[in-house]
Chains A and B, each alone.
Chain A
Amino acid sequence: MGAPPSPGFAYPLAVLSWVRPAPRAAVDDPDRVEVTAARAGDEAAFERLVARHEGTLYRLARRLLGDEEEALDAVQETFLRIYRGLGAFRGEARFRTWATGIAIHVCRNRLASASARAARRSVPLAGGEEEDPSSRFERELVDPAPGPEAAARGSELRRAVSRALAKLTPEHREVLLLCEMQGLSYEEAAAALGCRLGTVRSRLARARRALRQHLEGIWP
């Protein structure tokens, strides 16, 4: 072992170590190989990342924005930001969590923009008894295999859930989609939303209650 640092150097180093957050340990990320290759300039690796996560991000964006075209644009913008910011990705969270956080940020910006407001005016997300904008897309997704009655019940329930989701506030919708639809853990949701773990817990509880109450009001 070497000689201990003199007191004159030990104090500034201690302060620095206190101020500067310790680097987090790299998580076990199934996308690590592709991320590393894409950062090295491998376009095919980045395309594999796109193919792996575009569906999840598209569905999240569509539920958050309530419009298919807006969701398509949001996904394109999200991957463009991912592509440009991949060099800054430190691997402290999973790539999926990091990409989800970017997608949520993009969707928030679009919701705040005038064009998104106009789109929501034509197809309201919250309030009103109009049909959810994604209902047409959902009708195409109904699987006829379970039989007429089961298919009809599943389709009605899916439509009811979509309608109840649309009535939630954006914050409640975000946390509910991340934790219940995408299955993210509380920690991952907190990382994606940029908030504390306790905030995620309390917000998710209120979101569940709101969704339950909306469903109990429209579901027999």
Chain B
Amino acid sequence: MRCEELRRELDETGEITSPAARDHLAACADCARAVALWEEARATLRELDQESTPPFLHARVMANLRAAERERLAPRRPWRLAARSVAALAAVLAISFAGWIVWRVAPETPVPVEVPTAPRAGERAPEPEPVTLPPPLPEVPPAPATVSPPRAPSTRPAPAALREAAAPAEEAMPRSEAEAKPAAVAEPPATPVALGTAADGAVPPPARPSLSRRATPERETAEGTRAARARAARQPGGEALTMAARSAAATRSGEVACTLFAGTGEPPRTLTLPEPLAPAPGSEIGFTLLPDGELRFDEPLPEGSEPGALAERLRRLALSPGDYRLRRDG
């Protein structure tokens, strides 16, 4: 027998039993030493199973088992699940009821009304920034526009506000149509102003939306639009310019821009009305809104008017009781 065969027998059986292996061991010192070491190691392995264990092992195992058993045998407490279900259902019902109450109590959505910011009396207008406008397009004849602000005195022109005034009209129609319309819708000029005459305090006509858009690059973005609106609102007379632009836009859309002045000290409101409901040019309609919601006109409306429809339209503004005057813009 060779050494490899003896080692293989040792690995497979764990001991030397065959006579050939014993004969080899008597002659081979290396194999004898390897077998002796293995037998010692095997005995040591058997001794490892006799090692003592931690003294608390049994108590720990049994405590763990009893705890697990107590947890398993603990009552399920089904009332907890029922209570949670009832609480969740009550919460859902409460939220639904609150939503229903809010829906019932909430007033009808009023007609959106833009409220321009009126300049303070006696406030001096700052010097406007010099604006260089390109020459007018050849196909657009210069059409002067008339601006008649409701209360604000004539102030220096505000080019940004002018551009703002023309913006809604341009958004409502194609450019070619927008460029062709202004002359037709412009009212007869009460105080004709010329473009570029900023020094005389006149207001340029809002008749060139396309030009104004080309004049200022910032108008290309929505932020530029908001900035222009903000500037227009800040400048004295800006509300008048905005009102003029709104009047032009309303006229193009078949309605008439009007301003509602409140006797209660509230700022004037601007609204658009159909032509049959609006006051005649240059006239006003006075009315009183009673606390019970009744609306009484100060004077009988002229022939062809529709007082009922106008009253209904005015009621939808959610006005507070008081005296009002409705004036036609432009």
Contacts and interface: CB of A to CB of B under 8 A. Distances in A.
Contacts of B68: 80, 83
Nearest to B9: A205
B44 A158 contact: yes
Nearest to A164: B41
A209 B34 CA distance: 11
Contact of B49 (A47, A80, A182, A211): A182
Contacts of A39: none
A56 interface: yes
Interface stretch (A71-79, A106-114, A121-129): A71-79
- Interface band, chain B: 20 to 34
Interface stretch (B10-18, B128-136, B225-233, B274-282): B10-18
A141 B65 contact: no
Interface in A159-209: 160-162, 164, 176-177, 179-183, 201, 204-206, 208-209
Interface in A60-78: 63, 68, 72, 75-76
A35 to B, nearest CB: 16
Interface stretch (A3-11, A18-26, A212-220): A212-220
B48 A79 contact: no
Interface stretch (B55-63, B177-185, B259-267): B55-63
A68 B11 CA distance: 30
Contacts of A79: 61, 64-65
Q: Is the interface of B mostly helix, strand, loop or mixed?
A: helix
A75 B46 contact: no
Residue of B14, B41, B52, B58 with highest tally of chain A CB at under 10 A: B41
Interface string A17-48: 00000000000000000000000000000110
A68 B54 contact: yes
Contacts of B65: 46, 50, 76, 79-80, 83
A201 B7 CA distance: 15
A91 to B, nearest CB: 22
B38 interface: yes
Interface residues of A, number: 45
Contact of B46 (A72, A137, A160, A180): A180
A55 interface: yes
Interface in B118-160: none
Interface of A: 46-47, 50-51, 54-56, 58-59, 63, 68, 72, 75-76, 79-80, 83, 137-138, 141, 154, 157-158, 160-162, 164, 176-177, 179-183, 201, 204-206, 208-209, 211-212, 215-216, 219
19 contacts: A56-B49, A59-B48, A76-B60, A80-B65, A80-B68, A141-B52, A161-B41, A181-B45, A182-B49, A183-B46, A204-B14, A205-B11, A208-B11, A208-B38, A211-B41, A212-B11, A215-B37, A215-B41, A216-B34
The 4 A-B pairs with the shortest beta carbon distances in the complex, nearest first, are A76-B64, A205-B11, A180-B45, A209-B11
Interface of B: 7-8, 10-12, 14, 34, 37-38, 40-42, 44-49, 51-54, 57-58, 60-62, 64-65, 68-69
